[in-house]
Amino acid sequence: MRALYTVLLRLALPLVLLRLWWRGRREPGYRDAIPERLGRYETEAPPKLIWIHAVSVGEARAAAPLVRAFTQALPDHHVLVTCTTAAGRETVKQVYGEKVLASYLPYDFPESVQSFLEHFRPRLGVLMETEVWPNLLAGCAQNGVPVLLANARMSEKSARAYARWRGLSRPAFAVLAAACAQSAADAERLRALGAREVEVTGNLKFDVHPDAAQVAAGRAWRAALGRPVLLLASTRESEERLLLDALPAWDGKLLVVVVPRHPQRFDEAAQWTQSRRTRTEMPDASDKTYLGDTMGEMAFYFAACDVAVIGGSFMPLGGQNLIEALAVGAPVVVGPSMFNFAEATRLAVEAGAAVQALDASAAIREALALITDAEKRNRMSFAGKKLCEAHRGATEKHLKRGLSLINGSARG
């Protein structure tokens, strides 16, 4: 089955490279470092290295506590962070600077994987959340590199998809040296797919502390604005229009701040807003809508709002991260599709820190009702911060498991 998968992957390579060029029209980063995607690297590899793969923006940010923990526990080691998307590569630069090595993960060709492993010779591989690639894991096994699936989540939908390709996916999951699952349900599904040594460690995203300077700047911005702020955070395709159309007639005060999930959609979203952050730091009093067209400032936006509506949840996309909003203290409203953050959503709703709405219209009604109810917003804000504090600690469990794999590999 893996041989057939590899043949099909090779046949698709021209289309994959064409897609890189096409996406590079709006995101030039996709046209950079293409040899790395084929396993050719110019970065000098240090002798002792821990490799963490974070496919895109969310995973790169979620890995921060783990990167910090490994760096402190193993000061003689270096950390390599790989990603797949251009936005993820940019996020690695923003979050880590020169503290880590950064590169693209190669496509899942056996020779590209082997070249990557021979060049960097990692002592441990850490795959964030759901990055299970058959040839990559087979190559790690052949080269004696233990692999930890970190912050692992497995929705029912994803589990069914993997199960349909059991002949390909089951050997890959079986290669994992260990898996740290976000919840008991995630752990159960991972075991059913063939993963061994699975333990429930909680969500690393609860261990990510919001940037204090950004939070302070957001609070100051909101105070200077002097108007209620509704944030549409991490919106995906079609959601901006869906949510904005659900708003009632403007009351002359409310400012709706729109922050799309992907930077390549900033210009597209600008058609629905009257001003944008990269051009106007403070919107005019007559502006109804404002575009947050900056990267790496979500803590600012969450601190600047009265209520945050989380995007990716009004189309069948599984939602976006609501934990950062809770940590800042923003009352949260989410839509019906939150399967990628099912456990965090359940905990937040049960704690009274978030509200889950049936559709966009209901979400806007809930959000506007909260804007007029300061007492309830304060309760939700307190509940969100308390929830985050109660569920911190996943990093220590991940570190313990990772160090045991490194020590076990060294003895072997």
Q: Are residues 361 and 398 in the same domain?
A: no
Range of the domain at 246: 212-390
One domain for residues 162 and 281:
no
Spell out the residues 6+ positions from residue 306 whose beta carbon is closer than 8 angstroms to its own.
Answer: 222, 228, 229, 230, 331, 370, 371, 377
pLDDT of residue 412: 54
59 assigned to active site: yes
The answer to whether position 7 is within a domain reads yes
Bridge partners (DSSP) listed for residue 101 = 80
Q: How many helices (H) and strands (E) does the chain have?
A: 19, 14
Are 99 and 233 in a shared domain? no
Report residues of the chain scoring pLDDT below 70: 409-412
292 and 175 belong to one structural domain: no
Nearest residue to 221 (alpha-carbon basis) of 158, 128, 283, 157 = 283
* Total count of domains within the chain: 2
Do both 289 and 159 map to the same domain? no
Instruction: Answer yes or no: are the C-beta atoms of 320 and 311 closer than 8 Å.
Output: yes
Q: Identify whether the C-beta of residue 115 lies closer than 8 Å to the C-beta of residue 39.
A: yes
Same domain, 246 and 116: no
| Residues 272 and 184 both lie in one domain | no
Token pair, residue 154, equals 């497995």
pLDDT, residue 312, reads: 97
Residue 234 sits in a domain whose CATH number is 3.40.50.2000
| pTM greater than the 0.85 cutoff | yes
Same-domain pairing of 250 and 194: no
Ranges of H-type helices in 63-211: 64-73, 86-96, 110-120, 134-142, 156-164, 166-175, 184-192
Report the amino acid identity of residue 101. Answer: L
pLDDT value at position 325?
98
Q: What is the pLDDT of residues 32-83, one digit of tens each?
A: 999 999 999 998 899 999 999 999 998 999 999 999 999 999 999 999 999 9
pLDDT at 410: 60
Q: Per the residue annotation, which of 27, 36, 44, 59 is the catalytic one?
A: 59
Q: What angle in degrees, to the nearest 10, is found between the helix axes of 342-351 and 184-192?
A: 160
| Residues 379 and 252 both lie in one domain | yes
Q: What is the pLDDT of residues 103-132, one digit of tens each?
A: 999 999 999 999 999 999 999 999 999 889
Q: Looking at the structure, tell me whether residues 8 and 143 fall in a common domain.
A: yes
- Per-residue confidence (pLDDT) for residue 118, from 0 to 100: 97
Assess whether 148 and 122 both reside in one domain. Answer: yes
In a domain? residue 207: no
